Amino acid sequence: METLIGKGEKRIDAYDKVTGKGLYASDFDNQFPNMAHIKAKRSPYAHAKILKIDTAEAQALEGVLYILTGQEPGIDWDQYPKAAVLATDRTLWAGQAVALVAAETEELAEKAVELIHVEYEVLPHVLDYYEAIKPEPAAVIDPDYETRDQGFQDRPADRATNRVSPNIVGAFYMNSGDVEEAMAKADVTVEGEFWVGKKTASPLECANAICRYDSDGGITMWSNGAGVHGVIKQGICRILGMKEAYVRVIQPYMGGSFGSRLNPYIEILTALMCLKTKRTVRFTFTRKEVFCSAPSNWPCITKIKLGAKKDGTVIANDYYLCEEIGAALNNTFFSGRLSSSGAAPCYRWAEKGRTSNMRMDTYAVSTNTVPAAEYRGLGCPEAEFGIECLMNRLADELHMSPVEIRLKNIIDNGERNCYGELITSIGLKKCLQAVADEIGVEEEPVQDMGVWKKGRGCAVGGKQNTPLGRSEAEVWYNSDGTIQLFISCDENGMGATTAMTQIVADQFHVPITAVRTTKGDTAITPYDNYSASSRTTYNLGNAVLAACNECIAKLKEEIARHFGLHPSKVEIEGTTAYLKGTYVQEVNIPSLFVPVGMFTQGNWGLQQGTPVKGHGIYCPAPIHQWDKNGLSDRVWNWFQYSAAAVEVAVNEETGEIKVLRVASSADTGNPINPKLVEGQIVGGVHMAIGFSTMEEHLYNENGEIANCNFSDYRLPGILQMPKNEDVHAFINPDALPDGPFGAKGMAESITIPVGPAIAEAVYKAVGVRVTGYPMTAERILALIKEKKAKEAAK
């Protein structure tokens, strides 16, 4: 049978999802007639001292089972996910929970929440970078930072030695080559300050968890959160002190995540309330809570200076970045350095063959806003926006095309990036060429839309894969020849389960429909951390391959023994084994499994009803600790790359941006399933159009998100998207040596270049340089007016 790798197989969950037959976490709501409901009392103030919490009236309400406040003894809130921490003496953002209620019905829980009376003393707040970073800010989010024990103390500049503000928490410093000398040698320099706003991943299904109290004191949870083993079960065991055997976590279909569900911000609290009430409890966020009480992205401010030779070779990058982490106490692994990875991937920052001249000075700053956490791209779209804008400006100043200047500077396979890491897979140049040709970036569009002016632009982006954790897989070859796969990756919607099933089908030479996959149940499926950093295809794919190998090897051994052969003389194709060196040339494998009855004895070997099992484990090699300059030959694992080109129309009268045509290309390594990759490309482009042109948090005077609903938080609808025939997806693989079949992940890279490509197209259309996003109509119109005023003044 022909290989299935690289074939656009149909998603294994398509039927369930399209027909509505698939069960999502919320569908389990009506399976437990005796279920109690959790609701949260939340702070309306971004920063306030809690003077008093009076729960007496709520407590007295019949049907109220339990009220939890921040003062509850025996809880170490430092261990909880940031967005799940109940306020104790101070509320740190508007939307932080002050109390949780469990009650017999949802309505009773809501009523009890209303009856909890909280007295606040409102304190001044800081809501953005510019306020928070002042030497004497109006509010200090973590006054104990200096003395707080940090989990990660091994990085350069970790304690943020240059703390210009008490709100700076965590820093990273990296220095390669000699930036100052290179800058002095440069023929041309460009610099700028860029910002990217705060937004919320908006999966259609709000966060939801149901926790059943089992009769033996164990708990079983159904949740649409990510990482049944690595995030939720581990989190419950670690934080609540549960024994591993007594926690079971099941993930039904997930209604989306985009990274946001990697934080178990409802799961731990739901389990806690389950243990407190000894009842099956359910906690479902409202849409408002998804905005105000679930993690956002990391907004970034970047100040960047690039120096280049006349021929377009960029020889120096002086890079400052500050990422806003919201109201998160406790330094995390990411604080102050995560988005910095985004400065590294695509370019040399030196002449070919020389050491990169790159200085990176990155910080994290806290604000009185919802804690930031994982969001598709992990800070890279935010961190690379300014770099890409400046590359386009450089191209203009040097009268080069934006394609040409990039082709000159993009790293080649086999080179080292600015950290000193060896690049083993990069298809970015091909990606860029493909999208630029499709849109005609180097040609002028015909202006034929009246007040709508057209422009074209392109950009590239790259993102690291962090060498995370461990993935395991189990494969069963059943006695009737059917095959089963057991895995615990998240299916956020990306199609990873299909790709994994495809790998198994390929290894056993059967159609994909012959393999049945069971997923995401800690009592049944083997360990996996979570689906993050676009790792699933790579990490789990390798584990699945190993499991197939083990299963096939065992099966070959059993078959070989039957015929007195060496296992190497056996080949397996579905239910048929082909044999060499014996009078039997082929055999039906299920026929070798002996029937079993009530009194059968000596049940060794192949027996009906007992599968042959294979188990596989994969963990990428850990990073090498960086030196005092922040350099290391292994900081990340591998990089995913993407290029985008767009044609937009900008309305000169209203400032609106319409994306007319878009081309996006992913360097996936060898794709397992190109159809799924194309789906990811299109989805990523659409998401990026949304956050580049519309989505952002806006605040009222209390510091509360004013647009915490889908009518005012503007996610693009189908009519704001270019038509299907105007969205072009290309795959330009460069095989990753250690990926399964040369594959690597790609889902995050897509969103990175879309914003800067739109910014460039806007400049070409109406002549204004955007310095941040979302590029709302109002902002674009203000820039157009400013430009017209300047021209009139001349």
Partner 1 sequence: MRFEKYFQPGSVEECCALLKEYAGKAKVLAGGTDLVPRLKMGLLKPTAVIGMMDIPGMDEITLSEEGLTLGALANLRKISLDSRLDQDYLVVKEACGHVSSMQVRNMATIGGNACNANPSADAIHGLILNDATAVIASDKGVREIPILEFFAGPGKNTLEQGELLVKFVLPKVKPRTGAAYKKFAIRGDSDISIVGAGARLTLAEDGTVAEARISLGAVAPTPMRAVKAEALLSGKAPGEELFRQAAEAAAEECSPISDQRASREYRLEMVRVWVRHALEEALERAK
Alpha carbon distance, N-terminus to C-terminus of the chain: 73
Rounded-to-integer distance, Cα 279 and Cα 261, Å: 24
Stretch binding partner 1 (CB under 8 A), from 26-34, 206-214, 562-570, 649-657: 649-657
Residue count at the site for partner 1 (CB under 8 A)? 20
Can residue 777 be called a binding residue for partner 1 (CB under 8 A)? yes
| Total Cβ atoms within 10 A of residue 496 | 25
Q: Which is nearer to partner 1, 123 or 777 (CB)?
A: 777
Can residue 719 be called a binding residue for partner 1 (CB under 8 A)? yes
- The residue among 413, 529, 787 whose CA lies nearest residue 779 is 787
Q: Which is nearer to partner 1, 16 or 107 (CB)?
A: 107
Can residue 548 be called a binding residue for partner 1 (CB under 8 A)? no
Which amino acid, residue 101? V
Match 């055999």 to its residue by tokens.
587
CB of 653 to partner 1, least distance (A): 5
Rounded-to-integer distance, Cα 477 and Cα 558, Å: 12
Can residue 729 be called a binding residue for partner 1 (CB under 8 A)? no
Restricting to residues 73-132, name those near partner 1 by CB under 8 A: 107, 110
Q: Which is nearer to partner 1, 155 or 453 (CB)?
A: 453
Rounded-to-integer distance, Cα 772 and Cα 766, Å: 16
Q: Which is nearer to partner 1, 335 or 651 (CB)?
A: 651
Can residue 61 be called a binding residue for partner 1 (CB under 8 A)? no
- The distance of Cα 259 from the centroid of its chain, to the nearest Å, equals 4
What does the DSSP assignment read for 550-564? HHHHHHHHHHHHHHT
Can residue 711 be called a binding residue for partner 1 (CB under 8 A)? yes
Rounded-to-integer distance, Cα 93 and Cα 88, Å: 13
For the window 605-644, what string marks contact with partner 1 as x by the rule CB under 8 A? ----------------------------------------
CB of 311 to partner 1, least distance (A): 43
State the Rg of the chain over Cα: 28
Can residue 717 be called a binding residue for partner 1 (CB under 8 A)? yes
Q: Which is nearer to partner 1, 424 or 707 (CB)?
A: 707
- The distance of Cα 635 from the centroid of its chain, to the nearest Å, equals 19
**Residue of the chain from 175, 433, 610, 720 that contacts partner 1 (CB under 8 A):** 720
Rounded-to-integer distance, Cα 323 and Cα 561, Å: 62
Q: Which is nearer to partner 1, 503 or 650 (CB)?
A: 650
Q: Which is nearer to partner 1, 146 or 778 (CB)?
A: 778
Stretch binding partner 1 (CB under 8 A), from 219-227, 229-237, 597-605, 716-724: 716-724
Q: Which is nearer to partner 1, 546 or 780 (CB)?
A: 780
**Residue of the chain from 16, 444, 778, 786 that contacts partner 1 (CB under 8 A):** 778
Rounded-to-integer distance, Cα 616 and Cα 744, Å: 18
Residues 6+ apart with CB under 8 A from 299: 128, 129, 195, 196, 197, 198, 199, 323, 324, 372, 382
Residues 6+ apart with CB under 8 A from 428: 346, 410, 411, 460, 462, 641, 642, 643, 667
CB of 287 to partner 1, least distance (A): 11
Stretch binding partner 1 (CB under 8 A), from 35-43, 230-238, 335-343, 713-721: 713-721
Q: Which two tokens stand for residue 659?
A: 């994306």
Can residue 450 be called a binding residue for partner 1 (CB under 8 A)? no
For the window 580-599, what string marks contact with partner 1 as x by the rule CB under 8 A? --------------------
Residues 6+ apart with CB under 8 A from 546: 473, 614, 615, 616, 617, 618
Stretch binding partner 1 (CB under 8 A), from 422-430, 522-530, 629-637, 709-717: 709-717
CB of 289 to partner 1, least distance (A): 14
- SS3 at position 458: strand
**Residue of the chain from 141, 272, 328, 781 that contacts partner 1 (CB under 8 A):** 781
Stretch binding partner 1 (CB under 8 A), from 306-314, 642-650, 665-673, 714-722: 714-722
If residue 461 lies in a helix (H) or strand (E), which one and from where to where?
strand 452-465
Stretch binding partner 1 (CB under 8 A), from 136-144, 619-627, 667-675, 706-714: 706-714
Rounded-to-integer distance, Cα 515 and Cα 769, Å: 53
**Residue of the chain from 424, 607, 608, 654 that contacts partner 1 (CB under 8 A):** 654
CB of 664 to partner 1, least distance (A): 22
CB of 366 to partner 1, least distance (A): 24
Can residue 716 be called a binding residue for partner 1 (CB under 8 A)? yes
**Residue of the chain from 706, 726, 738, 787 that contacts partner 1 (CB under 8 A):** 706
If residue 549 lies in a helix (H) or strand (E), which one and from where to where?
helix 536-563
Stretch binding partner 1 (CB under 8 A), from 386-394, 420-428, 712-720, 753-761: 712-720
Can residue 712 be called a binding residue for partner 1 (CB under 8 A)? yes
Which amino acid, residue 27? D
Q: Which is nearer to partner 1, 289 or 734 (CB)?
A: 289
Handedness of CA 56, 62, 68, 73 (dihedral sign): positive
For the window 526-545, what string marks contact with partner 1 as x by the rule CB under 8 A? --------------------
**With left for phi above 0 and alpha for psi between -120 and 50, is residue 14 left, alpha or beta?**
alpha
Residues 6+ apart with CB under 8 A from 343: 317, 319, 321, 358, 360, 383, 384, 387, 418
**Residue of the chain from 324, 656, 695, 760 that contacts partner 1 (CB under 8 A):** 656
| Total Cβ atoms within 10 A of residue 72 | 16
CB of 25 to partner 1, least distance (A): 22
Q: Which is nearer to partner 1, 54 or 778 (CB)?
A: 778
CB of 698 to partner 1, least distance (A): 5
Stretch binding partner 1 (CB under 8 A), from 171-179, 638-646, 715-723, 746-754: 715-723
Q: Which is nearer to partner 1, 211 or 694 (CB)?
A: 694
CB of 720 to partner 1, least distance (A): 6
Q: Which is nearer to partner 1, 106 or 397 (CB)?
A: 106
Match 């009856």 to its residue by tokens.
115
Q: Which is nearer to partner 1, 109 or 423 (CB)?
A: 109
* Separation in Å, CA 492 to CA 7, 92, 203, 296, 405: 21, 30, 9, 17, 37
CB of 766 to partner 1, least distance (A): 15
Rounded-to-integer distance, Cα 489 and Cα 528, Å: 6
Q: Which is nearer to partner 1, 147 or 711 (CB)?
A: 711
Rounded-to-integer distance, Cα 404 and Cα 11, Å: 39
Query: Apex CA 156: angle with CA 155 and CA 159, to 5°?
Result: 85
Burial of 91 (0-12, 13-18, 19+ CB in 10 A): buried
CB of 204 to partner 1, least distance (A): 16
Asked if residue 543 lies in contact with residue 507, where contact means CB atoms within 8 angstroms, the answer is no
Q: Which is nearer to partner 1, 59 or 720 (CB)?
A: 720
Restricting to residues 676-705, name those near partner 1 by CB under 8 A: 694, 698
Can residue 658 be called a binding residue for partner 1 (CB under 8 A)? no
Question: Which residue ranges make up the site for partner 1 (CB under 8 A)?
Answer: 107, 110, 653-654, 656, 694, 698, 706-707, 711-712, 714, 716-717, 719-720, 776-778, 781
